[in-house]
Structure 1
């Protein structure tokens, strides 16, 4: 299991500061990028700010925006993985072709109500699936929806080799059930940033993987 801390930032400096706080504790950070249209909130959206970042951590950008292909060229040079929403795409096949020309990994996110079968034509072209596990997107601390557990199991059966990331409402109480259902990655936001000790919270999540 891989833990990926999620970051929602209002400015580039806030994003870099939060990345710095987890830089030595984890290998990856998940940046939630929102345009106020696909997701109801507006976040920082300036990828060039990341060029000022120091450290070894790798980044994935979760583009919670309409028509992510419009902003994709700005993000590809500064992050390692990009997540686009199936529901926001005009042509996923074209997006897959674009990624064949780049080193970045492509992840496709599905909202809670979108069935995993929607991606059955695309397994060979995507690196991982990001399953949203909350009803309301764009906020940290939203309640976990257990319906995602059936989606994880269904996805694992449909595509046994695909990497499954689960995103939203993840905490120490539900994380083990998510892993047992078949998830490879946990994207956690509120459970980390609202903890009294961020570093200890990350360690507690990582202990789950050892105990399984």
Structure 2
């Protein structure tokens, strides 16, 4: 199995929103991406931040934004996040009737395109769409709330995606989101994931930047043994 160097993306969902800019800067020297969870209280039963906050926060850091849209009607909203400077914009397969068309729109707007698969959604019918995407995000919990327990059997989806990516020689990041900690990141890396969203494991640590570095090292060790 050939897996690219791991990417660790702290999730601001676990940060202190009263001092969000400072929380972002705390991981600036360590994080590869900054994971931004956008929830609308319709597609998922939670309400977080939207486009104005992302636009404002973009000026506070140089970390590439990995925006995860857990919203209805992503075709209406997703291009706005690309226009706001997001590096990668991921939307849910369950919320979009033409994922490939939206991926084209995002790429035309200057962003990478990501497709997210929720906990209860089979992955097989979406694998053939991967040439149109840059990232496949596989939920290892049920989308909607942070702090949930990692579900190991969902790594079967990661394994299937890794086989498909390698067989097709595709340039697609396989990202996992949900319950990623120092204890679970190795499992996800061994299954074939190469990008890892971590919330409480980073922002619950005394030193968030060091927590990011330790997570990346664990992922690297799981794949290379080094």
Instruction: Tell me the TM-score normalised to structure 2 length.
Output: 0.85
Corresponding residue for 1:22?
A: 27
CA contact (8 A) 1:34 1:41 kept: yes
Counterpart-to-counterpart distance in 1, 2:92 and 2:20: 22
User: Residues 210 and 126 from structure 1, CA distance in 2 versus in 1: closer, same or farther, beyond 3 angstroms?
Assistant: closer
Aligned-CA RMSD value: 2.1
Matched, 1:62 2:72: no
Counterpart-to-counterpart distance in 1, 2:66 and 2:174: 14
Identify which of structures 1 and 2 has the higher relative contact order when contacts are C-alpha pairs closer than 8 Å and 6+ apart: 2
Structure in which a larger fraction of residues adopt helix: 2
Moved over 6 A (4+): 9-13
Counterpart-to-counterpart distance in 1, 2:18 and 2:57: 9
Q: Map 1:51-200; keep pairs closer than 5 Å.
A: 51=58, 53-77=59-83, 78-135=85-142, 137-160=143-166, 161=170, 162-200=172-210
Secondary structure of 1:159 counterpart: helix
CA contact (8 A) 1:9 1:15 kept: no
User: Residues 144 and 11 from structure 1, CA distance in 2 versus in 1: closer, same or farther, beyond 3 angstroms?
Assistant: closer
Tell which deviates more after alignment, 3-12 or 182-191.
Answer: 3-12
User: Residues 191 and 12 from structure 1, CA distance in 2 versus in 1: closer, same or farther, beyond 3 angstroms?
Assistant: closer
Q: CA deviation at 1:124?
A: 1.3
CA contact (8 A) 2:14 2:199 kept: no
Counterpart-to-counterpart distance in 2, 1:10 and 1:197: 13
User: Residues 17 and 38 from structure 1, CA distance in 2 versus in 1: closer, same or farther, beyond 3 angstroms?
Assistant: farther
User: Residues 72 and 14 from structure 1, CA distance in 2 versus in 1: closer, same or farther, beyond 3 angstroms?
Assistant: farther
Counterpart-to-counterpart distance in 2, 1:177 and 1:40: 28
User: Residues 8 and 68 from structure 1, CA distance in 2 versus in 1: closer, same or farther, beyond 3 angstroms?
Assistant: same
Tell which deviates more after alignment, 53-62 or 184-193.
Answer: 53-62
Unmatched runs of 5 consecutive residues or more in structure 1:
none
Counterpart-to-counterpart distance in 2, 1:193 and 1:9: 6
Unmatched runs of 5 consecutive residues or more in structure 2:
1-5
Q: CA deviation at 1:166?
A: 0.5
User: Residues 11 and 102 from structure 1, CA distance in 2 versus in 1: closer, same or farther, beyond 3 angstroms?
Assistant: farther
